[in-house]
Amino acid sequence: MRSRGFGGFAAGALVAGAVLWSFATTDVDLSRLLSAGPRIADFLGRMVPPDPTVMNEIVKGSAETLRIAILGSLGAVLLSVPLGILASETMVSPALYRPVRTLLAFIRAIPLILVAMLMVGAVGLGPLPGIIAIAFHATGMLAKFYAEAIDGVSRAPIAALESAGAAPLAQLRYAIWPQMAPVVARDTIFRFELNLRESLILGIVGAGGIGFYIQTYVRSFQYEKAASVTLAVIAMVIAIEGINVALRRRFA
């Protein structure tokens, strides 16, 4: 109990220290902080009313975002199938799955926006760096999920089919896959939803999609147009959430 009390004190001191350090070393004086509220209000004020003439750009940008999410997800699935198998405790030896899992954790640790910036640097502006970034970033999570789906399969029905003389392919089809399929479907849809959501902002770093227009309009002080695009993004996030809830219900 004593050590726990000390642990709590240490944690509190650490947090307080971190906050004080941030205040002391960040270059914001109090007057700027106080005027930030009105400035933000003013900024938001210039966004109303949203400019509806950008409908074309919204449709074009959304379609590209959707394409980036779909192709990026496809790439992630194609990468995650082999990597998921290699990260599975039940399919390969520890000498293999341990480093593969570390690699996946490493991939997950890199923020998507960073990957996208690097890819823009590597292959240039447009949807291609976005697709590559999504595929890479999503694989870190999806391959881990696939590995868990493989490892979650109960061995007993497989042993039963083997005992009945079923060939390995038949075991895969009738004992392994039926157990995995719902998990794989659910995880893939979940990851696709995240990909769609995250790809909305990829355009800000030049990796294609609707985010490109937000960035363009803000930089050229066309705040009413930026507002319209932002609202469209919010509407899409809500729509994705709604579809997701409906799908969850189906897979429950």
Partner 1 sequence: MSAAAQIGDLSFVHQGAGLPALDHVSLMVPAGESTALLGPSGAGKTTLLALLDGRLRGWRGRVSVLGAPLDPDHPPSRASRPDIGFVFQEFALVERSSVLRNVLNGRLGRMSPLRAALGSPLPRDLEVARAALADCGIADLAERRVDSLSGGQRQRVAIARCLAQEPRLILADEPVSNLDPARAAEILTLLTGAARARGATVLFSSHQPDLARRFADRIVGMRDGRIAFDVAVGDLSDVATADLYRETTALPAIGLRAVT
Q: How many CA atoms lie within 13 A of 95 on its CB side?
A: 0
Q: Which residue, 46 or 173, is less far from partner 1 as judged by CB?
A: 173
Stretch that binds partner 1, among 25-33, 62-70, 166-174, 188-196 (CB under 8 A): 166-174
Select from 233, 214, 235, 231 the least CA-distant residue to 223: 214
Answer yes or no whether residue 252 interacts with partner 1 by CB under 8 A.
Answer: no
Answer yes or no whether residue 152 interacts with partner 1 by CB under 8 A.
Answer: no
Q: Examine residue 49 and say whether the peptide bond preceding it is cis (omega within 30 degrees of 0).
A: yes
Cα 133 to Cα 18, 110, 113, 115, 198, distances in angstroms: 32, 11, 8, 5, 11
Site string for partner 1, 76-95 (x = CB under 8 A): --------------------
Instruction: Report, in Å, the least distance between residue 171 CB and partner 1.
Output: 8
The only residue of 19, 28, 123, 160 in contact with partner 1, by rule CB under 8 A = 160
User: How many residues interact with partner 1 (rule CB under 8 A)?
Assistant: 20
Answer yes or no whether residue 164 interacts with partner 1 by CB under 8 A.
Answer: yes
DSSP character for 208?
A: S
Q: Give, in degrees to the nearest 5, the angle at Cα 187 between 183 and 189.
A: 120
Give the binding site for partner 1 (CB under 8 A): 154, 156-157, 159-167, 169-170, 173-175, 178-179, 182
